[in-house]
Amino acid sequence: MFRTLNPATETVVATFDADTPARIEQALADAQTAQRSWAREPLLARAAVVARIGDVLLRRKAELAGLITLEMGKPIVEAEAEIEKSALTCAFYAEHAAQYLADEAVPSNASESFVVYDPLGVVLAIMPWNYPLWQFIRFAAPALCAGNGAILKHAGNVPQCALAINSVFAEADVPTGLVASLLIEPNDVAALIDDVRIAAVTLTGSTAVGKLVASQAGRAMKKQVLELGGSDPFIVLADADVEAAAKAAVKARFSNTGQSCISSKRFIVDAAVADQFVERFCAGVAELKVGDPTDRATTIGPMARSNLRDELHSQVERTVAAGAVLKAGGQALPGKGFFYAPTVLDHVAPDMVAACEETFGPVAAVLRVEDVDAAVALANATEFGLGAALWTGDLDRAKQLVRRIEAGAVFINGLVASDARLPFGGIKQSGYGRELGAVGIREFSNIKTVWVGPAR
């Protein structure tokens, strides 16, 4: 059973039955048939269909954003931005897919050689609730351009978003069966991964789930792209523009109510500017408005589920008990809804919970360091390696320091964000493989070498 539970009111809005084994079986058969035909379509024809998906997303922005806000509590302005970003990504790949997938000649003295990019087949996409449309579209737009099909297993708390994806793709005249968003119970995922009609798997989710999916896909010899957890550092060096850094830090931590893998979570600040940074950071946090996510003035909505809020509060309590200084927030808010006050913890030590664990919600941990080397060492002192932000006035030094930071992306004097033009993904326990950019569209391709000898 799947249900829409409004996290702002704690009201069950709708319930849905899981898809039956017969429905899943039919979807797999249809996807395989449709994908084989789709792969034979000219690339520019496939790209035109992906462009139409973007058009439909924009036409239905108000409706789709409303579903996101209803099911997982994202402030409505951010939900609309999610739809707009998804549409832009469709347009981007529609324009650039032919360039990214063009045959590549390999110089040779003795023969003709080149590399081609063929589709893999039907990809199983296991997607999370925190960006219900964007997470799927950033996979689907390049994957469809490359000639693949998809079966979507979405998170259990966003069933209406999952079903809306079917109607969006149908309205865009995506071939029937090529993409199917199904309501699938977690216990049924292993059988899907093992099914011969699934060629590869992509997952965005927790590290724990990633390890499980990786083991299942590995046994089945299926290609995987895994985008998992993160504890991103936001490094502020002594020569940084502290005011600009503090302003960006508020957005970096508290967008989507802090429920993002690439949210900055550990604010590693040179002691020389730490007091100034914390003061300005806390001033920015104080301006955040917690409340009804359908109100356009709201900047912090509810957390998606009550258990997530409970775990976050436990992390805060354990960190404060270990000696951190609570500068703001630190408590669940009274009344209906899974609201948690925007929280800032200062003087967090590297061995405290908020520094060691991923905090998936509106909580920021400030760690103070004495110099650049200590900042880089602390940034790397985590099992995760998704993104990192580095704030400094010395760009030449920054370009050298990024080589020492263990992350899939480092943003200098900016906050970490995904961008259709750039590869996105992590290292260490944050996963492997890349989405987006030229690299992302090739992840679910058979990179085939072709060697041509003389005619006989």
* pLDDT over 90 percentage in the chain: 98
Give catalytic status of residue 82 as yes or no: no
At 401-437, the pLDDT tens digits run: 999 999 999 999 999 999 999 999 999 999 999 999 9
Q: How far is CA 367 from the centre of its chain?
A: 25
Amino acid 111: pLDDT: 83
What per-residue confidence (pLDDT) applies to 442? Answer: 98
pLDDT score, position 208:
96
CATH class of 232-419: alpha beta
Active site residue 406: no
Predicted pLDDT of residue 110: 74
Torsion from C-alpha of 166, 169, 174, 176, nearest 10 degrees: 20
Rounded to an integer, what distance in angstroms lies between the CA atom of residue 29 and that of residue 34? 9
pLDDT of residue 456: 76
| Residue 297: how many other CB atoms lie within 10 Å | 10
Taken in order 85, 88, 93, 99, the sign of the CA dihedral is negative
Q: pLDDT tens per residue, the chain (456 residues)?
A: 899 999 999 999 999 999 999 999 999 999 999 999 999 999 999 999 999 999 999 999 999 999 999 999 999 999 999 999 999 999 999 999 999 999 999 988 778 999 999 999 999 999 999 999 999 999 999 999 999 999 999 999 999 999 999 999 999 999 999 999 999 999 999 999 999 999 999 999 999 999 999 999 999 999 999 999 999 999 999 999 999 999 999 999 999 999 999 999 999 999 999 999 999 999 999 999 999 999 999 999 999 999 999 999 999 999 999 999 999 999 999 999 999 999 999 999 999 999 999 999 999 999 999 999 999 999 999 999 999 999 999 999 999 999 999 999 999 999 999 999 999 999 999 999 999 999 999 999 999 999 998 887
Q: Dihedral through CA 320, CA 231, CA 431, CA 191, nearest 10?
A: 40
Closest by CA to 128, choosing from 156, 105, 167, 103, is 156
CATH class of 2-228+430-452: alpha beta
Determine contact, residues 354/315, Cβ cutoff 8 Å. Answer: yes
Ordered by start, the domain boundaries in the chain are: 2-228+430-452, 232-419
Which listed residue (261, 282, 435, 443) is catalytic? Answer: 261
Catalytic residue among 227, 358, 406, 435: 227
